[in-house]
């Protein structure tokens, strides 16, 4: 491709609304242009990179027996009512105004409706169906460029199985395919156990890259490679002790002492002697949650323990229910409720399992209780892992200190089970003629994210550093002296030879820009190899080759350039 004819609007300035490196560089390199919040046009150079990512995806999906579909983005709203997901997606789903249609944010329902009509026997399975298609999600805060768009490309696939072992196999195949896809793209990724969110179902894993620009947070162990989304991450912190001699509960006056740290200082006790009480509501049930000391409650963990629909209590509500304000509430004497109403559900973090000699609020402002024995004085209905892991805590597998890092989710694999088949009555007949719901899995990859994440991981102050697999062009050929006939002839000749060898070459043949400008553009655009045709070298029958990633330069015979480029690409 000749740069003189190519539509490639590069810009020098950093666009003011772009904060993260991949967004800035994709705009500067003329790959994308914004059309509205979270909506981007891909320009020719951007599309070339996107295509490379899609080629790798198709290759690996086909390799695990995937069959490619193209499902409609426009879906009847009734289809989504069948599974209750109009409500589950809420504001995130786009609804059309003049017909009862929605823009699909994902495609489980469409897949399930096809399966229901055509996958009728155990003999029809397993199936892996995939597509690469546009998804629509009304993201509340689209930012980070194409990493969080309102319209984006997803490779989504779905497995249909007759047995749970079959689902396990389809899931592992996908895990393998995903590892291959991201490795081939040149991404450094890690895999975490995740919570399943709005999808529902059992096992789920996310493929992540570590990045300061990420919106997810993960705990990582560099020693044993334990990795988990902070929503589910655990650590090996010690539990609060249980003392052999427990005294009777006693009220203590704690005027204006509310926070755990103030209490610790005021009462001269260890943090593990303090049980922090928090009040949540699950519909009409007040839920008192006990955490050790300054441990932070993880609301995602609380949601999964209580089955969703949980919210923090409002201050007036908390006062009315307990008789005290935040910082003075506690687990003792809450039930039965004097004024009637749903009894309190009291749950505690695992660290407090069977602990005694604890201090917590007295449900009376300015007072706390000491010597609380959770097995004796509070009706704790269960102990669960409810805390948020902090950096430096011991890894649950090997006790090495955990790192807590920001990360971007590239892909997600779920074992859905029979949730969708149950809701939509998608049944098959087994060998004995008995009816069962089809067992499904669902698997997604953000296609634009592959590109943006590669740039997040692979750039320097001058621009993008493409991996060979995703680079829009393999080679950037720079004609330095466009006024020197010999140099022009050499560059033109080389351009033809590279094309004849099927090497993707971007040829900067422009006559109206300075060499310095061309070099800057070559670094900004970041193709793996730069081949530089300049006066001095060409006069000696030579040409310069620069490796973008390392900056290494080599001067070689013009005649050997194509072979060297080929060797570099294949290596």
Ligand X SMILES: Nc1ncnc2c1ncn2[C@@H]1O[C@H](COP(=O)(O)OP(=O)(O)O)[C@@H](O)[C@H]1O
In the complex, which residues of this chain contact Zn ion (CB under 5 A)?
221, 223-224, 226, 395, 397-398, 400
Q: Minimum distance from CB of 185 to ligand X (Å)?
A: 13
Tokens of 13: 């300035």
Q: Which of 130, 134, 53 is nearest to 441 (CA)?
A: 130
Rounded distance, CA 196 to CA 97, Å?
Answer: 31
Are the C-beta atoms of residues 155 and 189 closer than 8 Å to each other?
no
Residue 448 makes contact with ligand X by CB under 6 A: yes
> Which residue of this chain has its Cβ atom nearest to ligand X in the complex?
446
Judged by CB under 6 A, the stretch of 235-243, 408-416, 419-427, 502-510 that binds ligand X is: 408-416
Residue 563: CB partners within 8 Å, gap ≥ 6? none
- Which one of residues 23, 28, 412, 415 is an interface residue with ligand X (CB under 6 A)? 412
User: Residue 393 touches which of ligand X, Mg ion, Zn ion, none (CB < 5 to 8 A by kind)?
Assistant: none
Q: Minimum distance from CB of 15 to ligand X (Å)?
A: 19
Q: Which is nearer to Mg ion, 368 or 412 (CB)?
A: 412
Residues 89-128 that bind ligand X (CB under 6 A): 106
Q: Which long-range contacts (CB under 8 A, 24 or more apart) does 40-46 make?
A: 40/145, 40/146, 40/149, 40/448, 43/7, 43/8, 43/9, 44/6, 44/7, 44/8, 45/6, 45/8, 45/472, 45/525, 46/451, 46/472
Q: Which residues pair with 292 in a beta bridge?
A: 275
- Which one of residues 34, 126, 149, 417 is an interface residue with ligand X (CB under 6 A)? 149
Considering only the C-alpha atoms of the chain, give the largest distance between any 2 of them, rounded to a whole number of Å.
99
Q: Is 263 helix (H, G, I), strand (E, B) or coil?
A: helix
Site pattern 358..397 for ligand X (x: CB under 6 A): ----------------------------------------
Q: Which is nearer to ligand X, 449 or 518 (CB)?
A: 449
Q: Which residues pair with 411 in a beta bridge?
A: 207, 445
User: Residue 154 touches which of Mg ion, ligand X, Zn ion, none (CB < 5 to 8 A by kind)?
Assistant: ligand X
Residue 306: burial class (beta carbons within 10 Å; 0-12, 13-18, 19+): middle
Residue 412 makes contact with Mg ion by CB under 5 A: yes
Are the C-beta atoms of residues 275 and 292 closer than 8 Å to each other?
yes
Q: Minimum distance from CB of 176 to ligand X (Å)?
A: 17
- Report CA Rg, the chain: 30
Judged by CB under 6 A, the stretch of 148-156, 237-245, 300-308, 538-546 that binds ligand X is: 148-156
| DSSP type of residue 378 | S
Q: Is 354 helix (H, G, I), strand (E, B) or coil?
A: coil
Q: Which is nearer to ligand X, 412 or 476 (CB)?
A: 412
Q: Which of 489, 492, 499, 486 is nearest to 562 (CA)?
A: 499
Q: Which is nearer to ligand X, 30 or 200 (CB)?
A: 200
Rounded distance, CA 411 to CA 443, Å?
Answer: 8
Q: Minimum distance from CB of 86 to Mg ion (Å)?
A: 20
User: Residue 398 touches which of ligand X, Mg ion, Zn ion, none (CB < 5 to 8 A by kind)?
Assistant: Zn ion
Q: Which residue has the tokens 């102050």?
A: 461
- Which one of residues 177, 187, 221, 410 is an interface residue with ligand X (CB under 6 A)? 410
Residue 197 makes contact with ligand X by CB under 6 A: yes
- Which one of residues 108, 409, 509, 521 is an interface residue with ligand X (CB under 6 A)? 409
- Which one of residues 124, 139, 366, 422 is an interface residue with ligand X (CB under 6 A)? 139
- Which one of residues 80, 152, 178, 280 is an interface residue with ligand X (CB under 6 A)? 152
Residues in touch with ligand X (CB under 6 A): 106, 137, 139, 148-149, 152, 154, 197, 409-412, 444-446, 448-449
């Amino acid at each position: 491709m000749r740069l003189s004819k190519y539509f490639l609007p590069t810009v020098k300035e950093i666009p003011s609304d772009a904060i993260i490196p991949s967004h800035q560089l994709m705009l500067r390199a003329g790959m994308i242009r914004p059309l509205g919040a979270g909506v981007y046009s891909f320009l020719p150079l951007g599309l070339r990179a996107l295509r490379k990512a899609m080629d790798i995806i198709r290759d690996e999906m086909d390799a695990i027996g995937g069959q490619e579909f193209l499902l409609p983005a426009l879906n009847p709203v009734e289809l989504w009512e069948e599974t209750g997901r109009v409500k589950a997606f809420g504001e995130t789903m786009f609804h059309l105004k003049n017909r009862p249609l929605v823009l699909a944010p994902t495609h489980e329902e469409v897949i399930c409706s096809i399966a229901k009509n055509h996958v009728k026997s155990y003999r029809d399975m397993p199936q892996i169906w995939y597509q690469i298609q546009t998804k629509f999600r009304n993201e509340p805060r689209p930012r980070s460029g194409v990493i969080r768009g309102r319209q984006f490309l997803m490779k989504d696939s779905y497995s249909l199985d007759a047995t749970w072992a079959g689902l396990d196999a389809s899931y592992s195949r996908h895990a393998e395919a995903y590892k291959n896809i991201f490795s081939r793209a040149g991404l450094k990724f890690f895999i975490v156990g995740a919570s399943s969110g709005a999808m529902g179902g059992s096992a789920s894993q996310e493929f992540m890259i570590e990045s300061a620009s990420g919106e997810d947070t993960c705990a990582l162990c560099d020693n044993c490679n334990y990795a988990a989304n902070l929503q589910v991450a655990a650590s090996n912190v010690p539990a609060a002790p249980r003392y052999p001699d427990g005294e009777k509960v006693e009220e203590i006056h704690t005027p204006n002492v509310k926070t755990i740290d103030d209490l610790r200082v005021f009462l001269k006790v260890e943090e593990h002697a303090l049980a922090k009480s928090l009040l949540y509501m699950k519909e009409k049930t007040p839920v008192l949650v006990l955490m050790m000391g300054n441990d932070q409650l993880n609301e995602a963990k609380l949601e999964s323990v209580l089955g969703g629909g949980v919210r923090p209590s409002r201050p007036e509500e908390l006062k009315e229910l307990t008789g005290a304000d935040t910082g003075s509430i506690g687990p003792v004497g809450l039930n039965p409720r004097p004024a009637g109403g749903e009894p309190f559900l009291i749950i505690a973090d695992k660290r407090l399992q069977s602990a005694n000699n604890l201090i917590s609020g007295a449900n009376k402002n300015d007072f706390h209780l000491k010597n609380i024995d959770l097995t004796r004085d509070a009706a704790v209905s269960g102990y669960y892992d409810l805390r948020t892991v902090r950096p430096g805590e011991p890894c649950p597998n090997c006790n090495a200190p955990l790192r807590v890092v920001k990360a971007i989710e590239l892909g997600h694999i779920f074992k859905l089970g029979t949730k969708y088949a149950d809701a939509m009555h998608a049944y098959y007949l087994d060998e004995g003629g008995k009816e069962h719901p089809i067992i499904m899995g669902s698997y997604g990859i953000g296609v634009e994210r592959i590109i943006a994440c590669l740039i997040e991981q692979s750039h320097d102050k001058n621009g993008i550093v493409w991996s060979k697999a995703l680079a829009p062009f393999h080679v950037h050929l720079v004609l330095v002296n466009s006024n020197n006939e010999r140099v022009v002839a050499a560059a033109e000749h080389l351009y033809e030879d590279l094309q004849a060898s099927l090497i993707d070459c971007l040829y900067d043949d422009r006559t109206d820009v300075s060499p310095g400008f061309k070099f800057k553009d070559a670094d900004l655009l970041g193709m793996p190899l730069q081949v530089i045709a300049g006066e001095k070298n060409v006069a000696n029958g030579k040409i310069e080759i620069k490796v973008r990633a390392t900056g290494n330069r080599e001067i070689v015979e013009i005649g050997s350039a194509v072979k060297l480029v080929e060797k570099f690409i294949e290596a």
